[in-house]
Structure 1
Amino acid sequence: MALVEIKVPDIGDFAEVAVIELLAKPGDTIKAEQSLLTVESDKASMEIPSSHGGVLKELKVKLGDKVAEGTVIAVIEAAAAASLSPPPPGEGRVGAPPSPAPAPAVVPPPPQPSPNGGGSQAIEVRVPDIGDFKDVSVIEVLVKPGDTVKVEQSLITVESDKASMEIPSSAAGVVRELKVKVGDTVNIGDLVAVLQGQGSAVAASPSPQPSPQRGEGESQAPATGERTPPTAALPPHDPTAPTGTLPHASPSVRKFARELGVPLEEVKGSGPKGRITQEDVQAFTKAVMSGEARTKAAAGKAPAGGGGEALGLLPWPKVDFAKFGAIERKPIPRIKKISAANLHRNWVMIPHVTNHDDADITELEAFRVQLNKENEKAGIKLTMLAFLVKACVAALKKYPDFNSSLDGDDLVYKNYWNIGFAADTPNGLMVPVIKDADRKGIVQIAQETAELAKKARDGKLSPADMSGATFTISSLGGIGGRYFSPIINAPEVAILGVSRSQTEPVWDGKQFQPRLMLPLSLSWDHRVVDGASAARFNAYLGQILADFRRVLL
C-alpha cells in the first residue's frame, strides 16, 4: 500500500475557490473518480474527484478553506495499481516527482459567419470543447430569440451524469434563432444558436465556464448571486418537463434524485446557500414513503374515491383584493420568509401536542425584585427569563427525552443543555441560544440574554449565536395573552411557551390567597414524548418555579 496525495486538478480559469461541501471523511473507502469535496466560485460550483481508489487517511481542507490548482486536499492509502486513470498534473505518491503536464486541450471550431447583407452578419455559435463528454443533455435554456447577448454570456446549461456546465456565446449580438431545446443532447461542434451581430465581436477561442477535466463536475449557479431556494409556489413536478430553473445541487445529487424520481424543486436544501444535499433527498424520499409529505404532482390529483384516502390540496385562492377597497403591497421581510418555510415544515411534519399549566411564582418574583434592588448600583438586572432558563435545564436533566432529537430511526440524547429563546425584533422573531446554560448562574444568564437580545434587534446575530439549541423558550410575558401553542423548532422535540403572569385567587385548603400565576404552554413531539411524560415535565417545572431551591437537588 502507498500513500497518495490528492491535489486539486485543473479547474479552469479559477483561483482561490472556496470549499463549500465535504463529501467524504477519514476512514471512508474511496473509488477512483469519486468526488471528495465541492468548491464554488462566484460563477460555478464543481466537485473535485479522487484520482485513486483506497482508504481516505486524511483530509487536508475544511469548510470555508480556499484552494487552487495543485492544493493538496487529501491523502489516500492506495495500492500501486489502484488508480483507474492517470493522476492529474502534480498528483502522485507522497514525495514523488511531479507528473508531466497534460497535452493541450483541443481548440473548438470557430463560429461560422455567413453573409447577411449590410454591416451585420449571422453568426453560428457551436458547442466548444467540453472535455471527455458525449451526448450531454440540455437541461436549461438561459436566453430566448430577441435577447441581446455579450461575448462569454451563457446560453444554455448542459449536464452529463457527472457534471453540469454552462455553454457561453462566442460572439456578441442578438439571438436570431435557437437551435436546441430542453431535453436535446449535444456534442462538440453542434450548432446552439444563430446570432445577428458584428463580425468583430466574435471571440477567438470560446470555452465553457469552466470546462471540467477528468470528470470533475460543476453545478450551474447564476452569475448575479445566490440561487433562491425552491418554495411551495413551484408547479407540480413533471419529470418530462423541466421547470426552467436548476435547483442548487451538485451533479451527483441531481443524478441521485433522478434515480429515485425525486423532484428536486420540491426539496428544501440544508447546505450552504440552500444547497440540496444527498441527505435532503433521502429525507424527502422517506417523508413521502411514510405519508408525512406528498409531491406536488401527487397532491394535485383528486382521490379516486373513499373517505379513507388523503385529499389533494386545493390551489391557493387568487383574489383581486383591490376590487373591494384600497390596498397596499409590501414585500415580506427576508427573516420572515426564512422563518415561514421552517415553521411550515415543522408544523406539517411534527405531530404537535400542547399541555397548558400554571406555575405559582409568587415567592420567585419577590426574590427577583429583591435581588434587583440589592444590585441596582452594580447595574445588574435579573429577568424572569433567566430563572426560566435555569429551571428548564433542571427539568430537562430529570426528563432527558425532552433534550433529545430524532435522527432517522435513532433518538439522540444530548449531554449538553443549550437553551434558545425567542427575541422580538423589528424584522421578526429570532432565536439566539444560551450555550451551556447548566454551567452558568442566574446573573450570567441574565447578562447573556440581554446582550443577545440587543444583537438580535440590531441585526448583528451570527449563525453561531443561533445554532445548537436543545430546547427553546418563547415568552410573550411582556406583551400579554393567556395560553398559546408554540411551534417546535426542529430538530428539537419540545418548546415552552410562557404568557403574562397575573395575580389570581388560589385556594390553600382553608381560604383563597392572592398568588402570582405564570401560564405555561409546553408543545411536544408525540413521536418522542407521550402525554404522561409531558404532564410530569410541566408539573416538575412548576414545582421548581414555586420553590427555586429545587434546582439544587
Structure 2
Amino acid sequence: MTEVRVPTLGESVTEATVATWFKKPGDKVAVDEMLCELETDKVTVEVPSPVAGTLSDIVTAEGETVGVDALLGNIAEEGNAGPEEMKPRDTTARSEDGPASGAAGQGSGQGSGQRSGQRSGQEGGQSVDVMVPTLGESVTEATVSTWFKKVGDTVAQDEMLCELETDKVSVEVPAPAAGVLSEIVATEGTTVQANGKLAVIGGSAGATAPAASAPAETQYSTPPAGNAGPGKDVKDGPAAEKAMAEAGISRDQVQGSGRDGRATKADVAAAVAAANSAPAVSSAPVSAPRAPVHADDAAREERVKMTRLRQTIARRLKDAQNAAAILTTYNEVDMTEVMALRNQYKEQFEKKHGARLGFMSFFTKACCHALKEVPEVNAEIDGTDIVYKNFVHMGVAAGTPQGLVVPVIRDADQMSFAEIEKAIAEKGKRARDGKLSMAEMQGGTFTISNGGVYGSLMSSPILNPPQSGILGMHKIQDRPMVINGEIKIRPMMYLALSYDHRIVDGKGAVTFLVRVKEALEDPRRLLMDL
C-alpha cells in the first residue's frame, strides 16, 4: 500500500484545501496520473499518483483543509490489491480515543487530545465548546463568514457548523460531538482569535449517533437527479467557487456531482459549456442585496464574490500604500539601439539558445547593473533596520486570468541574457497555467512591471512589499525628438520608478533611473560594466 501525501506547498505555506478529486476509490491509476487538486490562496497544486495501481481509499475529502505531508489517500500497487484493499475506507469513523484512522492531525486542524476530551465531556451529558481550529503558521485570527446551523438545530458529530475565512484559506469547522447547538458565541462577520470560542453544543438523547454511522460508500455518492445544489450544510470546494466566479454563473446553474452534492470544477465547466450551447436568454443577477437606484437596473447588475487571490492582491496593495512612503519618478529612454541589437541577433540567439530574445532581458540586466550603484533601491526596512541585499532576486509581474502574480527570477544578476529569457518564459507559462508554487513568488528584492504589453503609455506602479523599488515599463511609441539640433523620429518609452521614500532619497531614485536609461540607450555599457 502506497500513501498519497500533500506535497511541499512553498515557503511559509503550511496548509491547503482539497478542491477536487479526479479519481474515486476503486479506480485504476497510472504513475504520475493526476489524483486530486489542492488550492492555496494563490496557486493550484495538482497531486500526481506516485505509483501505478488502484486507489483503495480517500482519506481527505473535497473541501477539507490539510497540512503539508498530510495523508490524502492510499493506493494499492498493481498485483497487491486484495479484496480488503479495494474496499473504500470509512474516513469519518473514529475510535473512542482518537481521530479517524490514518488522518491524525488533519480535518479542521484540531488535535486529537482536544477532540477526545470534547467527546468524553459530551458522553457525560455536559455541554461542549466549539473552538476555532488551528489556522496555520503566522495566522492569528479569522472571520466567521457563514453559519450552516442555527441555535436549536440538532447536529451530528463532524457535521459542518460554520466556515471561517483567513487571508489565505477558508476553514470549515465541524461539530466536535453530536447534540444540539445551544448557543452561537461568534456570529457571522465576527473576527475571532485562534483558539477562540465559536459556539456551545448541549447534550441530547436523540442526537448521540455520529455522522460516521452512515456506510462508507455514501461518502462518495452523488446527489439525487435534479438536485442542482448541495444541502444546506455542505459548501462547494474553493476551486469550484472560483471557477463559477470567473465564469460568471450562479450556483443553481451547476449540477453538483461531488461528495454530498458539492460542485467540482468539472461540473462548472459542463455548466458553462451547456450555457454556451443553449440559446441566449436573459439571466437574473447572481445576487443583488442592495436595491439599485432604478428598478430596471436590477436585471443588468451582477455581483460576484472576490476570489481569494483577488482579495489577497487587494490587501497587499493597500498595505503597501499604508506602510510605505511611495513616490514615483519618471524618465524616458530611446529604444533605438536595443531594438537594432535585438533585430540583428534575434534569429541567431533563438537558434543557439532555444529562447526568444525579448526586451525583458535587457531591462533586467540594466536594473541589476543600476542596483549595484544604488543599493538602497534593492534593500528593505525591517523594524528600525535597513537590510541591504547583496544579490538580485528579480520579480517579473505577470498578468493571468486569475489576477496579477509576480514570479521571482533568483540571482538574476548572475545570469546571462539567455538564462534570463528562458527563466522568464518558463515562469510566465507556469503563471498562466496556474502552476506556480508559493516559493516561486517569494523572496524578490526588486520588481519589473511591463504595462506596455497592454498598451499603457504611462503609469505609477505600486510597490510589492517589502521591496523598496519597482520599475514600470511602458509602450514603445515613435515620437519626434531633437537629436544634435535636428528633429528625428525615435522609438521612445517612458520609464517609471516607484520607490519607498523612507529608505530611498530622490537623488538615489533619479540616479538609478538614469543608469537604466544609459544602459539601454548604449547596451555596450552592460558588456563593459560601465
What TM-score does the superposition give when structure 2 sets the normalisation length?
Answer: 0.52
Unmatched runs of 5 consecutive residues or more in structure 1: 1-15, 24-38, 43-62, 68-103, 113-123, 131-139, 157-165, 183-191, 204-222, 228-316
- Offset at 1:333? 3.4
* Structure 1 contact 405–411 (Cα < 8 Å) conserved: yes
Higher helix share: 2
- 1:420 corresponds in structure 2 to 395
Say yes or no: does 1:446 pair with 2:421: yes
Separation in 2, partners of 1:41, 1:477:
35
2:478 to 499, 503, 511: 503
* Structure 2 contact 155–207 (Cα < 8 Å) conserved: no
* Structure 1 contact 399–537 (Cα < 8 Å) conserved: yes
- 1:97 corresponds in structure 2 to none
- Offset at 1:534? 1.1
- Offset at 1:483? 1.1
- 1:323 corresponds in structure 2 to 295
* Structure 2 contact 394–410 (Cα < 8 Å) conserved: yes
- 1:492 corresponds in structure 2 to 467
* Structure 1 contact 18–41 (Cα < 8 Å) conserved: no
Say yes or no: does 1:343 pair with 2:317: yes
- 1:149 corresponds in structure 2 to 155
Amino acid of the structure 2 residue aligned with 1:469: G
Say yes or no: does 1:198 pair with 2:206: yes
- Offset at 1:520? 0.0
Q: How does 1:119-518 map to 2 (within 5 A)?
A: 124-126=125-127, 144-151=150-157, 171-172=178-179, 174-175=180-181, 177-178=182-183, 194=202, 197-198=205-206, 201=209, 320=292, 323=295, 325=297, 326-378=300-352, 379-518=354-493
The 3-state SS of whatever aligns with 1:420 is strand
* Structure 1 contact 125–170 (Cα < 8 Å) conserved: no
- Offset at 1:401? 0.5
Separation in 1, partners of 2:174, 2:350:
68
- Offset at 1:367? 0.2
The 3-state SS of whatever aligns with 2:519 is helix
Task: Sort the Cα spacing of 1:536 and 1:143 in 2 relative to 1 into closer, same or farther, 3 A.
Answer: same
Separation in 2, partners of 1:41, 1:526:
37
Task: Sort the Cα spacing of 1:199 and 1:65 in 2 relative to 1 into closer, same or farther, 3 A.
Answer: closer
Question: What's the C-alpha RMSD, in Å, of the aligned pairs?
Answer: 4.6
Task: Sort the Cα spacing of 1:319 and 1:527 in 2 relative to 1 into closer, same or farther, 3 A.
Answer: farther
Residue by residue over 1:358-415, the C-alpha shift from the partner in whole angstroms, topping out at 9 and shown as x without a partner, is 0112111100111113345444311101110000000000100000000000000001
Tell me the number of residue pairs that the alignment of Structure 1 and Structure 2 aligns: 324
Separation in 2, partners of 1:385, 1:467:
20
Residue by residue over 1:425-449, the C-alpha shift from the partner in whole angstroms, topping out at 9 and shown as x without a partner, is 1112111111111111111111111
Task: Sort the Cα spacing of 1:319 and 1:529 in 2 relative to 1 into closer, same or farther, 3 A.
Answer: farther
What TM-score does the superposition give when structure 1 sets the normalisation length?
Answer: 0.50
Task: Sort the Cα spacing of 1:456 and 1:201 in 2 relative to 1 into closer, same or farther, 3 A.
Answer: closer
Task: Sort the Cα spacing of 1:202 and 1:475 in 2 relative to 1 into closer, same or farther, 3 A.
Answer: closer
The 3-state SS of whatever aligns with 1:478 is helix
Separation in 2, partners of 1:65, 1:335:
24
Q: Between Structure 1 and Structure 2, whose CA radius of gyration is higher?
A: 1
Separation in 2, partners of 1:345, 1:194:
42
* Structure 2 contact 378–468 (Cα < 8 Å) conserved: yes
Larger relative contact order, structure 1 or 2 (CA cutoff 8 Å, min sep 6): 2
* Structure 2 contact 6–68 (Cα < 8 Å) conserved: no
Amino acid of the structure 2 residue aligned with 1:518: M
* Structure 2 contact 366–519 (Cα < 8 Å) conserved: yes
Residue by residue over 1:98-148, the C-alpha shift from the partner in whole angstroms, topping out at 9 and shown as x without a partner, is xxxxxx999967757xxxxxxxxxxx43359x9xxxxxxxxx999643312
- Offset at 1:514? 2.2
- Offset at 1:513? 2.1
Identity in percent = 35
- 1:279 corresponds in structure 2 to none
Separation in 2, partners of 1:143, 1:453:
44
The 3-state SS of whatever aligns with 2:454 is coil
Residue by residue over 1:273-307, the C-alpha shift from the partner in whole angstroms, topping out at 9 and shown as x without a partner, is xxxxxxxxxxxxxxxxxxxxxxxxxxxxxxxxxxx
Task: Sort the Cα spacing of 1:365 and 1:413 in 2 relative to 1 into closer, same or farther, 3 A.
Answer: same
- Offset at 1:467? 1.4
Task: Sort the Cα spacing of 1:365 and 1:168 in 2 relative to 1 into closer, same or farther, 3 A.
Answer: closer
Separation in 1, partners of 2:516, 2:291:
47
Task: Sort the Cα spacing of 1:389 and 1:514 in 2 relative to 1 into closer, same or farther, 3 A.
Answer: same
Separation in 2, partners of 1:421, 1:105:
50
Separation in 2, partners of 1:329, 1:497:
32
Residue by residue over 1:449-478, the C-alpha shift from the partner in whole angstroms, topping out at 9 and shown as x without a partner, is 111111111111111221111100000222
Residue by residue over 1:185-210, the C-alpha shift from the partner in whole angstroms, topping out at 9 and shown as x without a partner, is xxxxxxx655554387499xxxxxxx
Task: Sort the Cα spacing of 1:226 and 1:513 in 2 relative to 1 into closer, same or farther, 3 A.
Answer: same
Q: How does 1:54-73 map to 2 (within 5 A)?
A: none
Separation in 2, partners of 1:360, 1:419:
23
Separation in 2, partners of 1:421, 1:193:
50
Separation in 2, partners of 1:350, 1:110:
51
* Structure 1 contact 111–202 (Cα < 8 Å) conserved: no
Residue by residue over 1:37-82, the C-alpha shift from the partner in whole angstroms, topping out at 9 and shown as x without a partner, is xx9999xxxxxxxxxxxxxxxxxxxx95789xxxxxxxxxxxxxxx
Separation in 2, partners of 1:65, 1:412:
33
Amino acid of the structure 2 residue aligned with 1:380: A
Amino acid of the structure 2 residue aligned with 1:526: H
Separation in 2, partners of 1:19, 1:460:
13
Separation in 1, partners of 2:422, 2:175:
55
- Offset at 1:329? 2.6
- 1:76 corresponds in structure 2 to none
